[in-house]
Each structure stands twice: as C-alpha cells, then as structure tokens.
C-alpha cells in the first residue's frame, strides 16, 4: 500500500483518507455559482414577502404587493392575485376599452343619434345580442321571433304596447300585463260566433254571412262586448291597453293564418273570447342597468323596424 498520492500543484484534498487510499478533493464551489445561489435565496425571500406564498392554517400569507382594479365603476385594491389580474386585463384590454368608450357614447347620445349612426347601431346589435340572450331569449326566442300565444314577436312591426323608443323603454322598465277578460259569462254562444265572424271580417277574411257580421259589429262597438274600449273603434288597436290591432292579419295569441278553414278560424277567435288572456312581461328596472335598458331598447326598436 502506498501513501495517498499528493499530486504537486494539483487539487487539494480534504486530508482524510478512507479505506487506506480513498481521498476527497477539496473543490470549492465556483464563485459565480455561489453568488448565483445566494441571489436565488434572496429572490425567494423577497418573493414570499411580496406575493401570496405560504399556507397558514386554512389561509395563506398574502404578501405586501397590491393590485387595483375596477368593480362596477369603483376602484378596489386588494393583495396581488391572478384573478384580480385577469379582471384588470379584461378591463384594460383594447377591446374592453373600446367597448367602454362606445357605452359612454351611447349613454350620452339620444335614441335618434344612436339609430341613425351606423357605428353606434352596429355596436348596439352586437352588445345587445348578449344581454338579449341572457335576459329575453328564454321567452322571446333568439332573434325575437316569439311564440304565438305565449310571447310576442318583437321582430315584426306590430306592437301591443307601441313601438316608439319611449314605449319600448317603458315596457322594459316597468313590465306589462296583457289582459283581456273572459266572455264566458257575458256573451252567449251565438253572440260569440257573431263577434268572431266580425273580427275575422275586419282582418280581411271572407266567409260568414253579412247579418252575422252586422250583429258582431254591434256587439264589438256596443255595451255587450265593449271590445272597442280596448281594441279601439274598427279594431285598430290601442297601445295604452296593450290591445292588438285586429285588422292587420298579424296575430299575437291565436294562429289564424294557419287554420284549416273558416270554421277553424272562428273557433280560434271564440277560444280567446271564452278564455280571456292574461300574460305578463316582467319588469327589468332592477335587473338591468339604465345603459343596458337603453341598448336593448334601441336593439328591439331596430329589430321590429320600430315606429
Ligand atoms: C318570462 C318571459 C319574458 C321575458 C324573460 C321577457 N319578456 Fe318581454 N314579454 C313577455 C310577454 C308575455 C309579453 C307580452 C305582454 C302582453 O301580453 O302584453 C312581453 C312583451 C314584450 C314587449 C312588448 C311587445 C309589444 O308588442 O308591445 C317588449 C318590447 C318586450 N317584451 C321585450 C323584452 C325584452 C327586451 C326582454 C329582455 C330584457 C324581455 N322582453 C323579457 C314575456 C317575457
Ligand atoms: C280590457 C281590454 C279588452 C277588451 C274589453 C277586449 N280585449 Fe281583446 N284583447 C285585449 C288584449 C290586451 C289582447 C292581447 C293580450 C296579449 O297580447 O297578452 C287582446 C287580444 C284579443 C284577440 C287575439 C288577437 C291576436 O292577435 O291573437 C282577439 C281576437 C280579441 N282580443 C278580440 C276581442 C273581442 C272580440 C273583444 C270583445 C268581445 C275583446 N277582444 C275585448 C284586450 C281587450
């Protein structure tokens, strides 16, 4: 056995020898590496102090760094976290900024300005489409076509409550109750038949004898029926009552145009007289912001080609 070799000028050893000749070089870490290591330690400590880091019980150390973002127009500052960062990015992204600018313009503009400006109306269409989908389409259907008998069609130019922007806005804010009484107790079967034949005649349907139409006219415009009080003289409708125009062959409640023949049409009208109508458009004053109501009003107005 020879003595552990001590290469002259070579690497130092730690001086220990195991198993006779097993030695350990004493290679100090390179300086650059060591400083790099210290730097990462310092970085980690600073990071723990600045950002959410360590679990503590059922919470965690939140760090000193903060983030400020906007909620409903109010600035809010909280400890830094990725959710708030996302919210802030969504608010300050170019498209979000553009949307906010448009909403400010819409808020400041009159309906006339909105409806005659191509940029504003195309913004209204895309922005309202989402709100309409969330709040209205469940009843009025995507695109506003409605369901005959249940929910009115908003995409035609026939209005129960009026198609001016003022009336549409009022409809959205306060809701509407469409009500027509049942005539089950007030009119006899013959009288119902007469007035139904009259209603079909003013809508442009032929059939039914002239005498019956004459009797129906008198019921419609007289005390027995009193229909004119809501549907107006001649049945042209009255938006203050939400009572439809009966003369234009656009039907809200009954699907007259698809009925098989005149008898079937008469039966449909009589079913309305027997059952009456009661249906409710909910109020949205406390579910939508004023600007959302404004955008939706302009949207619904241009859907129906408004008045
Ligand atoms: C729960 C179902 C329901 C929802 C949701 C609903 N509506 Fe209605 N809406 C109705 C009914 C029912 C009527 C008809 C009321 C009547 O018979 O007079 C109506 C009527 C209307 C009218 C009047 C139409 C006319 O001819 O005058 C407008 C405008 C309207 N809704 C727009 C909207 C908008 C916009 C929304 C979404 C913010 C909405 N509705 C959400 C059920 C609904
Ligand atoms: C108190 C007011 C009122 C009176 C009175 C009234 N109606 Fe109506 N009528 C309405 C309203 C409101 C509607 C639509 C309800 C709705 O859309 O929710 C309606 C709907 C109808 C419809 C369905 C129209 C459609 O588009 O599908 C017919 C038909 C009709 N009325 C006929 C009559 C006749 C005939 C009389 C008289 C015997 C009469 N109404 C009396 C308020 C009235």
pLDDT value for 94 = 87
Phi-psi group of 72: left, alpha or beta (phi > 0 → left; psi -120 to 50 → alpha; rest → beta): left
What pLDDT was estimated at residue 96?
85
Among 176, 244, 245, which is best to mutate for testing ligand 2, by the most ligand atoms less than 8 A from CB? 244
* Low pLDDT (below 70) residues in the chain: 1-9, 305-307
Domain boundaries, the chain: 16-70, 97-175+282-303, 176-281
Domains 97-175+282-303 and 176-281 share a fold: yes
79 is in an annotated binding site: no
What's the pLDDT score for residue 1? 45
Q: Distance between CA atoms of 161 and 180, rounded to whole angstroms?
A: 14
Nearest CA to ligand 2 atom 36: 227
Instruction: Give the right CATH number for 97-175+282-303 from 3.30.70.260, 3.90.25.10, 1.10.760.10, 3.40.630.30.
Output: 1.10.760.10
238 lines ligand 1 (CB under 6 A): no
Decide whether any atom of ligand 1 lies within 6 Å of the 171 Cβ.
Answer: yes
Q: What does the pLDDT read at residue 151? A: 96
Q: Going by CA atoms, what residue is nearest to atom 5 of ligand 2?
A: 227
- Whole-number pLDDT of residue 184: 96
Res 157: pLDDT: 87
The architecture CATH gives domain 176-281: Orthogonal Bundle (1.10)
Class of residue 40 by CB neighbours under 10 A (exposed 0-12, middle 13-18, buried 19+): exposed
pTM over 0.85: no
């Amino acid at each position: 056995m020879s003595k552990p070799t001590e290469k002259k000028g070579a690497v130092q050893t730690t001086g220990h020898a195991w198993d006779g000749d097993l030695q350990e070089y004493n290679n100090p870490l390179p300086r650059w590496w060591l400083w790099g290591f210290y730097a990462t330690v310092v970085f980690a400590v600073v990071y723990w102090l600045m950002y959410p880091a360590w679990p503590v019980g059922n919470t965690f150390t939140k760090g000193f760094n903060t983030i400020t973002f906007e909620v409903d127009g109010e600035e809010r500052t909280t400890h830094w976290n990725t959710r708030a960062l996302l919210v802030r990015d969504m608010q300050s992204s170019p498209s979000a900024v553009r949307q906010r600018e448009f909403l400010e313009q819409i808020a400041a503009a009159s309906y006339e300005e909105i409806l005659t400006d191509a940029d504003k109306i195309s913004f209204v269409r895309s922005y309202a489409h989402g709100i309409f989908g969330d709040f209205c389409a469940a009843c009025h259907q995507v695109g506003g076509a409605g369901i005959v008998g249940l929910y009115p069609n908003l995409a035609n130019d026939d209005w129960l409550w009026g198609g001016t922007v003022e009336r549409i806005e009022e409809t959205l804010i306060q809701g509407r109750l469409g009500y027509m009484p049942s005539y089950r107790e007030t009119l006899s079967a013959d009288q119902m038949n007469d007035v139904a034949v009259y209603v079909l005649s003013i809508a442009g349907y032929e059939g039914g004898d002239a005498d019956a139409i004459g009797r129906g006219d008198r019921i419609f415009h007289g005390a027995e029926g009193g229909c004119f009080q809501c549907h107006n003289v001649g049945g042209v409708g009255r938006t203050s009552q939400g009572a439809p125009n009966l003369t234009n062959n656009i039907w809200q409640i009954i699907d007259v145009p698809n009925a098989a023949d005149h008898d079937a049409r008469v039966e449909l009208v009589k079913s309305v007289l027997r059952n009456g109508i009661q249906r409710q458009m909910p109020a949205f004053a406390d579910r939508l912001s004023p600007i959302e109501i404004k955008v939706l009003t302009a949207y619904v107005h241009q859907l129906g080609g408004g008045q």
